[in-house]
């Protein structure tokens, strides 16, 4: 594996988010200067780095790789920080060479949470918007981007062709493994997503970090907001149980706030600070383990 390309297939984490916008446009809020079909043209992405990102992601996200990363990171023994110190840490991910945005990670998260708040949703959902990308701190612990962001999918069973760039799965060692290559693989029909191992990344990491602190609806938003093959394409239905189907509407409710709230005007943190300090104190401990 080429060390340089595996470490940084994208020049910025924003490149993946911009690609998601092109693949999953909202005609009312996004497709104003282009047709919907033009936004969905992900077979010929604007940046080659996006396609290279998914080649690496689909090649190396094996069942064993995910187990290794779960063992490494879900002990939460890397650091212990307040939420606000963690956001300062996360803000190191800003790429000054990116011509499309100069917002920090916190500012993007505030735009998401403020959009949720403006529509009158419960405060736990506002907190979910604030925290949903906290798991990207994995990049600052030395993880390559293909193991932190990107569309997520189940491992341990056959890959769906509804996952973006499914052709790259043919390079994954699990693709032809008889244990993992059947439709159900290591799972049982209707076992429920909570019993399914997802590809490794920031979704699972932040879910595990916050699973004791916010309601179930918010936890589904955290854990599956990048599982587009499910909540946008309807794939992997055979793994779902009734609880997953009931929770789907919450993931779908959250997704537009994540995708379409980004704009070049930063939130006024000085005005928002008292509200968010109170919100975080209401739901979360003084320090989080990373």
Give me the residue label for tokens 């799965």: 169
Q: What is the pTM of this model?
A: 0.86
Contact 165, 58 (CB under 8 A): yes
Q: Which pLDDT band, with edges at 50, 70 and 90, does 284 fall under?
A: very high
Mean pLDDT across the chain, nearest whole number?
87
Give the C-alpha separation, 192 to 239, whole Å: 6
More confident residue, 170 or 45: 170
pLDDT digits (tens, 9 = 90+) for 187-196: 999 999 999 9
pLDDT digits (tens, 9 = 90+) for 247-258: 999 999 999 998
Name the DSSP class of 288: E
Domain that holds residue 228: 3-289
More confident residue, 104 or 8: 104
State how far the alpha carbon of 79 is from the alpha carbons of 76, 102, 131, in Å.
Answer: 7, 27, 17
Res 2 pLDDT > 70: no
Contact 166, 73 (CB under 8 A): no
Name the DSSP class of 158: P
pLDDT digits (tens, 9 = 90+) for 42-91: 455 455 688 899 999 999 999 999 999 999 999 999 999 999 999 999 98
pLDDT digits (tens, 9 = 90+) for 83-137: 999 999 998 874 333 333 456 888 889 999 999 999 999 999 999 999 999 999 9
* Secondary structure of residue 76 in the 3-state scheme: coil
Number of domains in the chain: 1
State mean pLDDT over 255-277.
Answer: 88
């Amino acid at each position: 594996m080429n060390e340089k390309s595996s470490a940084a297939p994208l020049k910025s984490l924003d490149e993946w988010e911009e690609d998601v916008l092109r693949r999953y446009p909202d005609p009312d809020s996004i497709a104003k200067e282009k047709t919907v079909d033009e936004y969905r043209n992900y077979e010929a992405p604007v940046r080659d780095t996006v396609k290279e990102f998914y080649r690496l992601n689909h090649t190396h996200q094996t069942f064993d790789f995910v187990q290794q990363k779960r063992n490494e990171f879900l002990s939460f023994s890397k650091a212990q920080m307040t939420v606000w110190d963690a956001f300062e840490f996360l803000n190191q991910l800003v790429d000054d060479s990116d011509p499309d945005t100069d917002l920090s990670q916190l500012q993007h998260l505030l735009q998401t949470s403020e959009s949720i708040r403006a529509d009158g949703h419960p405060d736990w959902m506002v907190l979910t918007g604030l925290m949903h990308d906290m798991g990207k701190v994995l990049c600052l612990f030395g993880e390559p981007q293909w193991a932190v962001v990107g569309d997520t999918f189940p491992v341990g069973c056959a890959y769906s062709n509804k996952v973006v760039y499914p052709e790259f799965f043919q390079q994954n060692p699990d693709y032809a493994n008889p244990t993992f290559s059947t439709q159900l693989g290591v799972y049982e029909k209707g076992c429920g997503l909570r019993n399914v191992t997802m590809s490794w990344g920031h979704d699972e990491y932040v879910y595990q970090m916050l699973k004791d602190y916010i309601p179930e609806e918010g936890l589904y938003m955290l854990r599956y907001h990048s599982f587009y093959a499910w909540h946008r394409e309807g794939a992997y239905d055979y793994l779902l149980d009734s609880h997953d189907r009931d929770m789907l509407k919450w993931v779908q409710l959250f997704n537009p706030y994540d995708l379409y709230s980004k704009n070049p005007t930063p939130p006024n943190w000085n005005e928002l600070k008292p509200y968010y300090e109170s919100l975080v104190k209401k739901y979360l401990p003084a320090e989080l383990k990373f």
